[in-house]
Amino acid sequence: MNSRILVSGVSGPIGEALLPSLKSSGARIVRLTRTRAATAPSKHGSANDEERIVWDPAVPLAPEAISGFDAVIHLAGESIFGRWTTGKKAKIRDSRVAGTLNLALALARAEEKPKVFVCGSAIGYYGNRGAEILSEESAPGTGFLAEVCQEWEEATMPAVQADIRTAHLRTGIVLSPKGGALKAMLLPFKLGLGGRTGDGRQWMSWIDVRDMVGAIHHILKNDLIQGPVNMVAPKPVTNAEFSRTLAGVLSRPAVFPMPAFAAKLVFGEMGEELLLGSQKVEPGKLISSGYPFRYRELRVSLEGLLKR
């Protein structure tokens, strides 16, 4: 690749999986981070491992600080897990919208603009849509996450208007044992305490973290991909099927359902939108542009992630 790439959100499960693959392809990585390196590079590392630009997402960024990159991958954002208090919701929104806007404005004003700007988003854009099949052309939904995702994507407009190819990663449930929903589910399911949530009919659109990384590489290389890209596997499953499959891979029963009222009581608004919401999303742009999914079946994905 021999390109210079700026990446934010490197500490999350997607960023952790993405960085080694970018480096192995020959890219020179610079991290966009809120903090300086805590330690000096080890004898096994290189100066490139610690190359970074420190920023505050709430503060405008100097265009000269981020000039000269071939690509910018922006994955940073406050975790959506946890009870959505007023303060938590403000952090979720501000970390995505203000940070993306400040980054997009700086990229638009940079002397040497990137060829591509890949920015995080989520299938939360579509809201709770039952069994409706959702494509990149589907209208936005309602609810807190849908509003945040719309504002998040709109915040990239300065880059779009500066003719920087911009892709919005409308990401589904990323399956990684290192973080996110799967990690949170592992302990109760390993203890035999897992089960469906609510009636289990809500659709879960998932993607293996290895396909997530592969699809980002695909977007970087394909000049025709821009706008929203549904980052999900081709075969979504219901919550009940997901629960049965995860329990089966772990050789445990799945007989302890969480009633809908309990999900709302324990998790509040987050439980209603994340645990009980339904999104049946298809990866139209990835399929039409020829991305070769490695993990189309949920069981194959979970076995590969959990039985290493």
DSSP conformation letters of 145-201: HHHHHHHHHHTTHHHHHTT-EEEEEEE-EEEBTTBHHHHHHHHHHHTT----BTTS-
Q: Which candidate, 130, 152, 185, 165, places its Cα nearest to that of 75?
A: 152
Tokens 């979970």, residue?
302
The domain segmentation of the chain, as residue ranges, is: 4-173+208-232+282-294
- Give, for all 308 residues of the chain, the pLDDT tens digit: 579 999 999 888 999 999 999 999 999 999 999 876 554 343 334 444 558 999 999 999 999 999 999 999 999 999 998 889 999 999 999 999 999 999 999 999 999 999 999 999 999 999 999 999 999 999 999 999 999 999 999 999 999 999 999 999 999 999 999 888 899 899 999 999 999 999 999 999 999 999 999 999 999 999 999 999 999 999 999 999 999 999 999 999 988 999 898 888 888 998 899 899 999 999 999 999 999 999 999 999 999 999 86
- CA 89, 202, 212, 160 dihedral sign is negative
Q: What is 4-173+208-232+282-294's CATH number?
A: 3.40.50.720
DSSP, residue by residue, 99-124: HHHHHHHHHHH-SS--SEEEEEEEGG
pTM of the shown model: 0.93
